[in-house]
Structure 1
Amino acid sequence: MSDKVVTHWKGALQFESDNPSGKMLMMDASSESGGYNSGLRPKAMMLSSLAGCSGLDVVAILKKMKVKVSDFRIDTYGELTDEHPKYYHAVSVEYHFYGFELDQEKIEKAVNLSVDKYCGVMEMFRQFAKVTTSIHYHS
């Protein structure tokens, strides 16, 4: 299976990109870099992709396990290299679960299945970055 994405220059440093779902997104650079700050940054989108990929897995697995949470968020931090081309050499993924009487054993199993088995974006990141994960529970 392959995906195709078309990215079209819109002028200055702005680009519009489609997605196999048909949705569009705008990318741009910061005003300090000559852009208009009107869109998402490509490198930061990689962190969003990582969190989204793993988050989709975790939610689907928890649903199958019949585990309820009030809220769930993922904070993802990327540390760039100092030299060009700058890329994320270290990434931290923090899973935050909210609710009362959270089933921590099942939540940990769901996160580990995503991290170790299912999330393809996580595996891609491992090819160029040290990836660490942590789970946090909030009532």
Structure 2
Amino acid sequence: MAEHTVTTTWKEKMAFETDNPLGHSAIIDTTEENGGDASGLAPKAMMLSSLAGCSGLDIVALLKKMRAEVEDFKMVVKGELTEEHPKYYHTVWVDYHFTGNDLKEDKIEKAVNLSVEKYCGVMEMFRKFAEVKIDIHFHKK
């Protein structure tokens, strides 16, 4: 069974440095109104980034296998938090944006659906606590 271990160390005020199994690190912080310096990434927003990164990695790999090239690809992920503590994302929107002159829309949709429904483990984790809404946008260059 695969395991991941990260080490997160308090730096100062509300800032922490966290590592990752690939050897990279990031700063986690909060806003000035919450005692931080806003010097890093916010923990809950990092979860949205993780969702996009996980799905994006799947999609890029699938599109390569399908020989469906795109000129540009981005994801916009928005999460709506509950009102009460502990605040968590109860609804998440993932908008996939693909840009190019000759987009193979059927293959792109298939790649997105495979990521969303089969491959992206972070997506599956989000489904345990949030409604996840997906939309695909095609942009001609």
- Could you tell me the TM-score, scaled by structure 1's length? 0.99
Equivalent residue pairs, number: 139
Q: CA deviation at 1:107?
A: 0.3
- Specify the alignment match of 2:89 in structure 1: 88
Q: Distance in 2 between matches of 1:65 and 1:87?
A: 36
Residue 95 (structure 1) shift: 0.2
Tell me the equivalent position of 2:76: 75
Q: Counterpart amino acid of 1:91?
A: V
Whole-angstrom distance in 2 between the partners of 1:68 and 1:22: 30
Question: After TM superposition, which residue ranges in structure 1, 4 or more long, deviate above 6 angstroms?
Answer: none
- TM-score w.r.t. length of structure 2: 0.98
In structure 1, stretches of 5+ residues that fail to align are none
> Counterpart amino acid of 1:122?
M
2:104 maps to 103
2-structure distance, mates of 1:59, 1:32: 38
Letter in 1 for 2:113: N
Deviation at 1:56, TM superposition (A): 0.2
- C-alpha displacement of 1:66: 0.5
Aligned to 2:49: 48
Q: CA RMSD in A?
A: 0.4
Percent of aligned pairs with the same residue?
62
